Structure 1
C-alpha cells in the first residue's frame, strides 16, 4: 500500500533491525514487492531497510496511488493527524495519481486537511479523477501543482454499489422510499463538492454544476486556467511558453 501509517514508519525496528544487518548492503528479499531503502533511525548505530513510502513519509511526503476507499482514507487521516503531533508548522506534500474513489471517504480526508494547522502542497502526477481532483484543488492556495501531462476528470457523485463476499458488485434492491433517500444523500454530497470546487477555483456553483453535467476532462493547462491548480511543474530550461504567458515557469516543491 502506498501510504504507510506513521506508527509503523517511526517505531525503531529492534529485533527486525538486527535481523536485517547482514543484508543491509544488498537489496532485501522484500524488494520484490515494495521498494526499500536504507535508513538510520535516530539513536541507532546502523541503518536498516524500510519501505520507500515510510522514508518519504519521514520527509512529510505522501503518495496517493490507489482509489480512495474507506480503509485508505482512514490511513490517510491517521497519518495527517500524526504529522500534526510531530510538527504542526512544516507543510506536507501530497502527490496524486488516483483514478477515483468513494466520495464520502474523500470528503473525510478533505475535512481533515482543512482542520490541520500546516499547509498542503498538492501535485497531480498523472490522472486525478472525481474525489482525487477535489483533494488536489483543496491544497493551500498558491501551492497546488500539476505536471505537464497530468489530467483531471470531474464527475458527479453516484450511488455507491454494494459488494458480495468476493468483492464483486451486486444489484441493490431497495424500496422506493429508500431509493429517494439515497438519491437525496447523493445530491447533498454533490452540493458539498460543488461548494468546495467553487471555493478552490473562484467559479460560481451554477457554472460548476453546468460543467459537471457530464464527465469533465481538463489537461494541465486547462486545469491551470480553470483554477484547479496554481502552477505547472516544468523543467527549468523549458520556459518559452512561460515567457509568453501560456504556462507557468517550472517550480520546485520545498
Structure 2
C-alpha cells in the first residue's frame, strides 16, 4: 500500500537536456523528494490592483499649487476666497521670489444672471492679499473675468497680465462699492476715473483685443495672435477692397 502511494506521488519526469544543470537538479529532486515540490507554497501572482496607489492621489488644487498656479474657477464666495488667499500666502512663504500664476474664470461676486452670491468684500479681500505679496503676479483670463474678477485680472504685475483670445472681461456688476472699484480699475488700467465710470454706466463687455486696448491686460495668449491682428485690415478697408459702398444709415 505504501509503495502504491509512493508511486502515485511521483512526478512524471520529461526528457531533459543532460547539459542543463538546473533541469538536471530539478529532475533529481522530483525523483527523490517529490514532497519538496508538492508542498512548496504557491506564490500569488501580481494582480492589477498591486499597481494601484496605496493612498489617494492629491486633489487638483494641490497639484496646481505645486506648479505655483492658483485657479479661480468659481464665483467669489467665502470658501473660494479662503482657499485662494491661503494658497497665495503659502506660495509666498515657499518662495517670495518666484512668480505666482493666477488663472481666472469667474463671474465675481455674482452669477451670470446677476444674482449676488457673495459679498463684495470677498473680491476686495483677494485683491488686498495680492497687493501685499512680494512675488511677481501673472494673471490669465481663460473664460470670463467679471466685476471683481476683472479687477483681479487687471491687478497683476505690469506686462504679466494675459488673456486667452476668446475670453471676456466685464467690469460692471451690481456693485455697492462702485466708486472703489472705479478707482482701482482706473489705477491698474491707466485710465482716468471719469472714463472708467463712463463705461461702467452700461454693459461694457470686452473681448481680448478691447481689454488690451483698455489696459486690463498686456498681451493676448495666442501664438501669433498679436501679429495677425495688427496685420488684419479694418472692416472699412475690407469693404473698400471688396468694392462695397457703404450707404449712410444702413
TM-score by length of 1: 0.64
User: Which residue of 36, 39, 52 corresponds with 1:23?
Assistant: 52
- The 2-side partners of 1:215 and 1:48 are apart by 45
Match of 1:89 among 87, 97, 108: 97
Say how many residue pairs are matched: 176
Q: Structure 2: give runs of 5+ residues left out of the alignment.
A: 1-48, 110-117, 234-250
User: Structure 2 residue aligned with 1:235, among 204, 223, 229?
Assistant: 223
Asked if 1:123 corresponds to 2:140, the answer is: yes
* 1:58 aligned onto 2:66: yes
Larger radius of gyration: 2
Residue 74 of structure 1: aligned partner: 82
1:219 aligns with 2:219: no
Deviation at 1:243, TM superposition (A): 5.5
Higher-RCO chain (CA-CA 8 Å, sequence separation at least 6): 1
Whole-Å separation in 1 of the counterparts to 2:221 and 2:50:
39
Please, which of 201, 211, 222 is the counterpart of residue 189 of structure 2? 201
Runs of 4+ in structure 1 off by over 6 angstroms are none
Could you say which residue in structure 1 is the equivalent of 2:156? 139
- In structure 2, the partner of 1:244 is 231
Unaligned runs of 5+ in 1: 1-19, 25-45, 159-185, 247-254
1:243–1:216 CA distance, 2 compared to 1 (3 A): closer
Inter-partner Cα distance in structure 2 for 1:142 and 1:79: 23
Q: 219-228 vs 46-55, which deviates more?
A: 46-55
1:235 CA displacement: 2.5
Q: CA deviation at 1:157?
A: 4.0
CA distance in 2, matches of 1:72, 1:114: 18
**Aligned residue number for residue 99 of structure 1:** 107
Separation of aligned partners in 2, 1:50 and 1:239: 38
Aligned to 1:150: 167
DSSP 3-state at the match of 2:223: coil
1:159-207 deviation per Cα after TM superposition (whole angstroms, max 9, x unaligned): xxxxxxxxxxxxxxxxxxxxxxxxxxx2xx2221111111111111011
RMSD in angstroms over aligned alpha carbons? 2.3
Residue 138 (structure 1) shift: 0.5
SS state of the match for residue 159, structure 2? coil
1:113 corresponding residue in structure 2: 130
Q: Which has the higher strand share?
A: 1
What's the counterpart of residue 198 of structure 2?
210
User: Cα 1:217–1:242, aligned 2, differ >3 Å: closer, same or farther?
Assistant: closer
